[in-house]
Amino acid sequence: MQEFFEKCKQAKTIVANLTSLQKNNVLLDMANSLLDNTSKIINENKKDLKYAKDNDLSDSMLDRLLLDESRVQDMADSLKEIAALKEPVGRILEGWKSEQDLKIQKISVPIGCIGIIYESRPNVTSDAAALCFKSGNVSILKGGKEANYSNNIIATLLQDVLVKHSLPEEIISLLPDNTRAGVEKLIKMDKYVDLIIPRGGESLIKYVSQNATVSVVKHDKGLCHTYIDKTCDEQEAIKIAVNAKTQRTGVCNTTETLLVHTDIANKILPKLKAEFDKKNTELRGCQNTTKILDIKKANNEDFETEYLDNILSIKVVDSLDDAIKHISKYGSGHSEAILSSNYSSIEQFLNEVDSACVYANASTRFTDGAVFGFGAEVGISTNKLHSRGPMGINDLTTYKFKIYGDGQIRE
Amino acid sequence: MQEFFEKCKQAKTIVANLTSLQKNNVLLDMANSLLDNTSKIINENKKDLKYAKDNDLSDSMLDRLLLDESRVQDMADSLKEIAALKEPVGRILEGWKSEQDLKIQKISVPIGCIGIIYESRPNVTSDAAALCFKSGNVSILKGGKEANYSNNIIATLLQDVLVKHSLPEEIISLLPDNTRAGVEKLIKMDKYVDLIIPRGGESLIKYVSQNATVSVVKHDKGLCHTYIDKTCDEQEAIKIAVNAKTQRTGVCNTTETLLVHTDIANKILPKLKAEFDKKNTELRGCQNTTKILDIKKANNEDFETEYLDNILSIKVVDSLDDAIKHISKYGSGHSEAILSSNYSSIEQFLNEVDSACVYANASTRFTDGAVFGFGAEVGISTNKLHSRGPMGINDLTTYKFKIYGDGQIRE
């Protein structure tokens, strides 16, 4: 492995200094190569699917694994979209002249070598590789074992294009040792690797965060809350709450817990239930909720759970302060919304709730790189540092200071 | 300790939501309290000095420990300067409207709870506490044991001012357990602590980086290089090289290794030696250097050493590429300079050298928050992520997205 990491380090300088045009040409060639090799990719993917079926993986897992012609087309389109993004390297973020007449530029540069750990969906392999490449980074990819054949053929095709362009194939690599032991090695390679992005289950992310010596930007769970204030527009609040829970249930920006101000609980909860019933949402309520609605009781564990399913826990709160306290205790710092018509309640909620995205009168489902206008999304960071919330390609850069002098010495 | 961290967590929301005026009034009161209690501080400091003398600490260590009237005045002045800094919280970093007409603001917010680990100089206690406070953060400070009495009195005075303003004293605390075991606990408290900044010796920083589960921004060593290109202005190059090494020798932005292009080595090295001799600098050279100069031989260890002393290692290189390779192998990513009159050599050096600060024709000694115009300095980060190079108070903030809607749901 040592030799592999040495080669990755050497590749850093090369990819960091490619021109925008060079990078975009490579990305377009990669897109074409995926299209030209669609049947090859589908054949390899079938091996993964067979293994998954033989091992009784769930239908949703099988769906996430599956590559067909249209999905390969999507992968290729995504590479083209990434090629079309504005160049992320070399942006002058700030620039000024010091007292000593030094011209100082704060300028975006690639991070270096990025390890990305993810699961199931093989399209992440080409997406993540392309985002890292466009931002001038070397990528080391560790996909799920269940997608081994698919990830291998995709990475090989991308590497072939690199070699065709006389570039080192280590610019894009699958982690050679695709086991937990390999991951353990990767996350401790701080001499070679500059950032680890773990995307996936809670236990994986916890393991990486606890054991990495490399910097980590987590894409952790979203235990999102929507709080309905006593002053809300009732119809609008119901519409938003239902959307925040049910528009898509398996994703991180979906609301898992609804907080309702006690003053309007009697009036709004039955109406909410009527709408959630239309969506077949299972409701679980706190003691006060179950006095109003005939639903299952929510226990403490419910409030700690990211259901990723069509289930919603409901809690009646005595005040805005109580809502904020509940979020501070149970939230994952991802996305929370207040539905209210009161100016100062909204401002207090947006200021005091310590989450990446805080919404007034809109669905939490909007936390998304595309909605935010970032183009192709790296993911949603639940880190507080470096990058928080939806990550665009610019978040795969850091900065350096370039200082232009003409003989200055320090007195 | 658990209870202590819980209280720190509760204090986060309070300090994060103070107005600028409130914070500045507290800081000015703190400055006055230090001045009013000068003799008390000096008395406590004497206990530290006595202990240090009894234990044969070096003179330079004693000097760093010492607090006299003028140094307490400096500490108070520093608090006033921090009060005068522009408010770091609530800056709108970006703002735009999404396709759905959501008004999105990317806005600076406090990081939360920051642990700072440092050594010797007791003025860091008030500086670090004030910088964290002004940026809306709770601070947990772990100073060196040799400054225990001084740090305790300073922290107590600051806390008294907090209490006088009806604020929780946990906004500024010394780590209750001032031992290695206490540090180990602190750096793993990721549920409560959001950032650790270790400032100090290499072994401390390595220990923290390897063992923390909290995010770390290192203030690590500066093994800085100055490269004299074949096309340099000879007189200017000598002036800058001498300044970069000798203007102050015990600090991280001082040049430790001089790289000299082979084409000018014969001509410039004797002149450099003549100037360095005037400054009593000990020169150690590579094999080619020692063919030209009668100086001690530099071994591999020299090129790996941050001397923090009036010693300079010199290496003759065959090309700009070799200079960049040497820096990539031995440098610490802090500050490097090229002295050259050639446009493309300068651009290549500034682009390819992967350091926080890269200079053309100026002394590496300029890497400094004050020079950069940041006001009071948090330190010099050798991290690549979150903050790189000189850190100002804005680097003690992160951001959140505030999203203002009027009923938007996701379709």
Kindly state whether residues A390 and A328 are assigned to the same domain.
no
Question: A22-59: per-residue pLDDT in tens?
Answer: 999 999 999 999 999 999 999 999 999 999 999 998 88
Residues contacting A384, CB < 8 A, separation 6+: A333, B111, B112, B194, B195, B215, B398
Kindly state whether residues B228 and B192 are assigned to the same domain.
no
What does residue A276 show for φ and ψ, rounded to 5 degrees?
-65, -30
| pLDDT at residue number A107 | 98
From B358, B373, B411, residue closest to A98, measured CB to CB:
B373
Residues contacting A23, CB < 8 A, separation 6+: A83, A133, A134, A136
DSSP assignment, residue B397? E
Q: Do B362 and A102 touch (CB under 8 A)?
A: yes
Nearest residue on chain B to A399, alpha-carbon basis: B388
Q: Whole-prediction pTM value?
A: 0.94
| pLDDT at residue number A203 | 87
From A104, A194, A366, residue closest to B102, measured CB to CB:
A366
Residues contacting B122, CB < 8 A, separation 6+: B45, B48, B65, B67, B143, B147, B150, B151, B154
Smallest Cα–Cα separation from A134: which of A9, A11, A16, A12?
A16
Q: Do B401 and A358 touch (CB under 8 A)?
A: yes
Question: B300-341: per-residue pLDDT in tens?
Answer: 999 999 999 999 999 999 999 999 999 999 999 999 999 999
Kindly state whether residues B145 and B268 are assigned to the same domain.
no
Q: State the smallest CA–CA distance between residue A216 and chain B in angstroms.
A: 8
CATH number at residue B326: 3.40.309.10
Domain for residue A98, yes or no? yes
- Contact indicator for A368, B94 with CB cutoff of 8 Å: no
Question: A147-177: per-residue pLDDT in tens?
Answer: 999 999 999 999 999 999 999 999 999 999 9
Kindly state whether residues A96 and A216 are assigned to the same domain.
yes
- Give the span between the Cα atoms of A114 and A100, in whole angstroms: 37
Kindly state whether residues B287 and B400 are assigned to the same domain.
no
Adjacent-strand bridge partners of B283 = B312
Kindly state whether residues A19 and A115 are assigned to the same domain.
yes
Question: B219-247: per-residue pLDDT in tens?
Answer: 888 999 999 999 999 999 999 999 999 99
Domain range enclosing A260: 224-366
Kindly state whether residues A172 and A248 are assigned to the same domain.
no
A228: left (phi over 0), alpha (psi -120 to 50) or beta: beta
Kindly state whether residues A315 and A289 are assigned to the same domain.
yes
From A233, A328, A357, residue closest to B401, measured CB to CB:
A357
Domain for residue A372, yes or no? no
Is B311 in the A-facing interface, judged by CB distances under 8 Å? Answer: no
From A366, A385, A407, residue closest to B195, measured CB to CB:
A385
In chain A, positions 230-249, which contact chain B (CB-CB < 8 Å)?
Answer: 233, 236, 239-240, 243-244, 247
- Contact indicator for A357, A226 with CB cutoff of 8 Å: no
Domain for residue B274, yes or no? yes
DSSP string, A131-176: HHHHTT-EEEEE--GGGHHHHHHHHHHHHHHHHHTT--GGGEEE-S
Question: A226-271: per-residue pLDDT in tens?
Answer: 999 999 999 999 999 999 999 999 889 999 999 999 999 999 999 9
Domain for residue A375, yes or no? no
CATH number at residue A125: 3.40.605.10
Mean pLDDT in chain B? Answer: 95
Q: State the smallest CA–CA distance between residue A321 and chain B in angstroms.
A: 12
B386: left (phi over 0), alpha (psi -120 to 50) or beta: left
Question: B55-93: per-residue pLDDT in tens?
Answer: 988 888 898 899 999 999 999 999 999 999 999 999 999
- Contact indicator for A344, A360 with CB cutoff of 8 Å: no
- Give the span between the Cα atoms of B45 and B62, in whole angstroms: 11
Edge-to-edge strand ranges of the sheet holding B103-110 = A296-297, A282-285, A311-317, A255-261, A224-228, A335-339, A357-362, B397-408, B103-110, B92-97
Q: State the smallest CA–CA distance between residue B258 and chain A in angstroms.
A: 16
Kindly state whether residues A321 and A354 are assigned to the same domain.
yes
Is B21 in the A-facing interface, judged by CB distances under 8 Å? Answer: no
Angle (nearest 5°) at CA B306 between B317 and B52: 165
Adjacent-strand bridge partners of A397 = A110
- Give the span between the Cα atoms of B82 and B374, in whole angstroms: 11
In chain B, positions 312-341, which contact chain A (CB-CB < 8 Å)?
Answer: 328
- Contact indicator for A257, A286 with CB cutoff of 8 Å: no
Kindly state whether residues B133 and B266 are assigned to the same domain.
no
Domain for residue B107, yes or no? yes
ipTM: 0.94
Question: B161-220: per-residue pLDDT in tens?
Answer: 999 999 999 999 999 998 999 999 999 999 999 999 998 788 889 999 999 999 999 988
Q: What residue has token string 């226990």?
A: A299
Kindly state whether residues B229 and B257 are assigned to the same domain.
yes
In chain B, positions 87-106, which contact chain A (CB-CB < 8 Å)?
Answer: 96, 98-100, 102, 104
DSSP string, A18-38: --HHHHHHHHHHHHHHHHHTH
Q: Please state the separation of Cα B258 from the chain's center in Å.
A: 23
